[in-house]
Amino acid sequence: MSDSELAQVDGALEALPPRPTYEQVRRLEACMAQMPQVECPLEHHFAHGVYGRLMHAKAGTVIVGKMHRFSTLNVLLAGVIRVTGPDGAVRDLRAPCMFVSPPGCKKVGAVIEDVQWLNVFPTKLTDVAAIETQFTIPETPLIEDQP
């Protein structure tokens, strides 16, 4: 990544205060929704009583995650990402690393080097939409500014 591209990625997190509130993260998310969107391909993996969702994100991507109902196992398999933690503090994570995020945590991440991020959920369900309903907290739709 060039220095200017890195500055743009960093700018997304710098737009937030050191310990952002949920409302501040949602405002950032609303602003980001107005920008061109990129795909972050997902892979879905199932084992006995376990679902793994693997996300691939390219360097320069800024991501706002969904809130989970329960504590969630996070595994950074590849890459480097600057991310807000459960306490709101911004930190750099370098693969490989693993951590648990608490229920209700809404993370914002700026991808520094291409990442592969795995979330692991205990479930016997195999329908991805049903799993999302089971494990994520619904949020009100983002309100887009009218011209």
pTM of the model: 0.82
Q: How many domains does the chain fold into? A: 1
Rounded to 10 degrees, the C-alpha dihedral 6/37/132/58 comes to: -40
Domain span at 79: 3-135
Degrees, nearest 5: CA angle 49-53-55:
170
Q: Choose the weakest-confidence range: 23-32, 43-52, 56-65, 113-122.
A: 23-32
71 domain residue, yes or no: yes
The answer as to whether 131 is a domain residue is yes
Residue 93 lies in a domain: yes
Average pLDDT over residues 45-49: 98
> How open is the CA angle 84-15-137, to the nearest 5 degrees?
45
Domain containing residue 64: CATH number:
2.60.120.10
| In-domain check, residue 123 | yes
Q: What is the pLDDT of residues 81-130, one digit of tens each?
A: 999 877 778 889 999 999 999 999 888 999 999 999 999 999 999 999 99
Dihedrals phi, psi of 52, to nearest 5 degrees = -120, 130
Quickly state the pLDDT bin for 4 (edges 50, 70, 90). Answer: very low
Q: What's the mean pLDDT in 59-69?
A: 93
Strand partners, 55: 42, 117
- Read out DSSP for 114-131? EEEEEEEEE-S---HHHH
